[in-house]
């Protein structure tokens, strides 16, 4: 259905069924804490987690879903992007509605998109290029 995401090489052992929404909530707390703070500041104190779960629930009814986390090897990750530092993947599956929602969050280096490091390192300025690196 989505030609950009080829799961033909993915093995079942890379998917883990979650007991409840707790692992998803922990992911938001752990990986998106700064984004959550910015969201709250810009949205009158509303919670990023509440906003995301409400949006997902409108589409798929979270309480009726099986929730899976997907922890791929870097070699077999169909979502892998250049410069990725980490990523988390969740699938919400509602059998009754016959729907799947894929939730992916990825952190990429701010230097990955413009080949900044490649240019800086070839100029012999390795130390200067890495001084202010924010990862």
Give residue-wise pLDDT tens across range 82-103.
778 888 889 999 999 999 998 8
> What residue segments make up the domains of the chain, in order of their start?
12-110
Spatial separation of the C-alpha atoms in residues 87 and 98, rounded to whole Å:
26
Instruction: Judge: domain 12-110, CATH 3.40.1000.50.
Output: yes
Banded model confidence at residue 57, pLDDT cuts 50, 70, 90 = very high
Name the nearest CA neighbour of 76 among 15, 17, 6.
Answer: 6
With H, G, I as helix, E, B as strand and everything else as coil, classify residue 91.
strand
Give residue-wise pLDDT tens across range 101-120.
988 888 888 777 655 555 44
Over residues 21-43, the mean pLDDT reads: 90
Over residues 57-81, the mean pLDDT reads: 83
Over residues 45-64, the mean pLDDT reads: 93
Give residue-wise pLDDT tens across range 11-23.
788 889 998 888 8
% of the chain with per-residue pLDDT over 70: 71
């Amino acid at each position: 259905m989505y030609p950009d995401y080829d799961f033909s090489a993915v093995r079942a052992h890379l998917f883990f069924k979650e007991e409840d929404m707790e692992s998803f909530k922990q992911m938001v707390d752990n990986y998106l804490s700064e984004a959550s703070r910015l969201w709250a500041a810009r949205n009158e104190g509303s919670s990023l987690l509440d906003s995301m779960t409400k949006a997902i629930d409108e589409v798929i009814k979270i309480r009726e879903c099986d929730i899976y986390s997907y922890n791929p090897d870097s070699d077999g990750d169909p979502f892998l992007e250049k410069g990725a530092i980490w990523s988390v993947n969740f699938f919400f599956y509602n059998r009754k509605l016959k729907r799947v929602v894929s939730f992916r969050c990825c952190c990429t280096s701010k230097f990955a998109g413009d080949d900044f490091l490649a240019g800086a390192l070839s100029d012999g300025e390795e130390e200067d290029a890495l001084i202010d690196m924010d990862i």
